[in-house]
Structure 1
Amino acid sequence: MPASQPIHVSLVAIPEAVVSTLSGIFDVMNAFAILPESDGLPAAPPFKVEIVGLSTGPLELASGVPVSVQRAIADVSHTDIVIVPSVLLGGQGWPKGRHHQIVAWLGAMHERGALLCSACSGLFLLAETGRFDGMPATVHFGYADAFRAAFPQVPIAEEKVLVVSGSREELVTSGASMTWHDLVLYLIARHAGATTAQAVARFFALQWHQEGLAPFIVFAGRTDHGDSAVAAAQAWIARHAAVAEPLAEMVRHSGLSERTFKRRFRIATGLSPVAYVQRLRIEEAKRRLERTEASVDEISWLVGYEEPAFFRRLFRRLTGLAPGAYRKRFRIPDFARGRS
């Protein structure tokens, strides 16, 4: 796109928006004027980013920090990219219909060719347009269950960092909070080139979450299913996941036959008993990797696996990282540890 026609980006501000995501996206996409000169960078800023909302002026966001809405949506008849930043859900969940004017505007912008993008939980607002029905998407894993309940027609994969869908690849969603980095870098690479995206990432020390979000997700088995026999087995195995014969013990604590237990357990939790135990064991292994000096082989034995090679394969399959890489990524660095 010629330098005289920068790509117009509308960053949506609503009272539920999170200031860190909104301001981070705004600063990074507006930063081209301060980037050091480098080969391959555009001669002029490729984006024009504006904060838009129902009306202009100060707007208090979810944290109580105000931002200034620069343009009212009624004055924006066309835009190239719309981004809805993270939103904070209250105890009552997402308030459908509260922002019907903005939802109508989002639909109109999509019809006129705009990309619809969400960072983290911003998908809650975008989903009200109906444009994501049947389209793969991602959302913060902490809000995944709430999103499925509110918008069952939108298939989500919360372990994914970025999902691009739509016939024009015009529906772009990013996952947990800081994956707005990936969203912004993707948009820069798509519209201004990979070299430009690399320069921005280098300047701000942004990183792509190429391993996905599985390493960040803490497994918590479903307990709201109402099956008391399965719940009894879950409660016991949560304290004894490293036991030698977990299935037999779970069956014994359920009071059911093995065949009936397996069927009811899958219905109640969505997982087979073996898969459930594997996830509990891997969660315990993650904590030990983060907090102890124990070797990977020792941790394998402590969580219930006598064969370290099998443990390593399982750990990588469920988290996306090898145990050693996980420890390096998530362990608190020495300089941040308290002194004894």
Structure 2
Amino acid sequence: MPSRSSLAPSPARPAGLHISLLAVPDAALSTLAGIYDVMNVRALRGSPAGTASQPFRVDIVGESVGPLDLASGVPIQVQRSIDGIEASDIVIVPSLFVSGAGWQSGRYPRLVAWLQRMHESGALLCSACSGIFLLAETGLFDGKDATVHFGYARQFAAAHPAVTIHPERVLVVAGPREELVSSGASTTWHDMALYLIARYAGATEAQEVARLYALQWHHDGLAPYISFDGKIDHGDAEIEGAQRWLTTHFPVANPVEEMIKRSRLAERTFKRRFTAATGIAPIAYVQRLRIEDAKRRLERTDAPVDDISWRVGYEDAAFFRRLFKRITGLAPGAYRKRFRIPEFARP
């Protein structure tokens, strides 16, 4: 999340900052429409254009004016063409649907060139979720920090190795003018919208909009939402076999020692190859599997935390609690409260 100082209102800016909300065929309707409504809330409630009570003017822009079918098949009306926009204060790229094959770069050269021009003219460039895939094609994020939906993190890292990606972070503000803003998974566009409102219209306005739409800051980050998925497409058959054994034997005592005994490798060689193949050390891998199982038990059962600690392999419940909070960002009880299906929604 941005620092407290970066959330403070900027010096006075002219009323009605122009926001270009970019529409492309890959865009998610929910994100695009949600950002439009939240950033345009004063206009939707009847405040006169250009007044202090309407801090933003939002246009849905694209390569051409008219109806555009989005990824879901639902059309949206593009209000202005990028050809007619010489400058914009803020440009937002909404969430994009990325196929299993990954984002196909180079499909929107006119948009990429326009985004570069907007940045040169002083615009803030923002992405929601996977919108960073398109923004990153400008090259402006190379050597800088950004975030993306954790489900797309590996694809993005492979496509843009020059960008330092932080999928566990809700919001990342980068660039010498703090002009490159990216939000993480799914509805963290709420945080981005509230950040922009606080930055340019003030904290009071951001709080009022948050109350109006019942929006919440993701203060705990995205670590609680990320499920561990150990890398297995590394090509090391010996280590892959150890990983497969570990998926059902992680609660046993001394699982790392057991894996080494079952392998045909010396201890130092096994640990070195395991870390090289999976990206994390064997003991950290075991801890992540145990915590994942504990998360499911907290979500789906009424079992006491001490019992869950023992079942996933920890006799010391205090150590388990500390480890759980370090990995997920939440204490076990807080995690259960957040992710368990409420009573009124259960069958």
Same fold (TM over 0.5): yes
Pairwise CA distance, 1:3? 8.9
Whether 2:25 is the aligned partner of 1:15: answer yes
Equivalent of residue 293 in structure 1, options 285, 288, 302: 302
Equivalent of residue 73 in structure 1, options 50, 70, 82: 82
Amino acid corresponding to residue 116 of structure 1 in structure 2: L
Amino acid corresponding to residue 98 of structure 2 in structure 1: L
TM-score, normalised on structure 2? 0.94
Amino acid corresponding to residue 132 of structure 1 in structure 2: F
Pairwise CA distance, 1:33? 4.2
Whether 2:194 is the aligned partner of 1:185: answer yes
2:8 maps to which residue?
A: none
Pairwise CA distance, 1:32? 1.6
Pairwise CA distance, 1:252? 2.1
Residues 3/316 of structure 1: CA separation in 2 closer, same or farther (3 Å cut): closer
Q: Distance in 1 between matches of 2:167 and 2:296?
A: 21
Equivalent of residue 29 in structure 1, options 17, 33, 39: 39
Structure 1 SS opposite 2:146: coil
2:237 maps to which residue?
A: 228
2:99 maps to which residue?
A: 90
Stretches of structure 2 that go unaligned for 5 or more consecutive residues are: 1-10
More divergent stretch after superposition (222-231 vs 27-36) = 27-36
Residues 227/2 of structure 1: CA separation in 2 closer, same or farther (3 Å cut): closer
Deviations 1:70-98 (A, max 9, x none): 00000000000000000001233111110
Identity of aligned residues (%): 65
2:280 maps to which residue?
A: 271
Contact 1:133 1:153 in 2 (8 A): yes
Contact 2:16 2:52 in 1 (8 A): no
Q: Distance in 1 between matches of 2:121 and 2:46?
A: 35
Deviations 1:46-80 (A, max 9, x none): 00000000000000000001000000000000000
Contact 2:194 2:210 in 1 (8 A): yes
Stretches of structure 1 that go unaligned for 5 or more consecutive residues are: none
Structure 2 SS opposite 1:142: helix
1:310 maps to which residue?
A: 319
- Give 1:149-228 correspondences, 5 Å limit: 149-228=158-237
Contact 1:236 1:253 in 2 (8 A): no
Count of aligned positions = 334
Whether 2:331 is the aligned partner of 1:322: answer yes
Higher relative contact order at CA 8 Å, sep ≥6: structure 1 or structure 2? Answer: 2
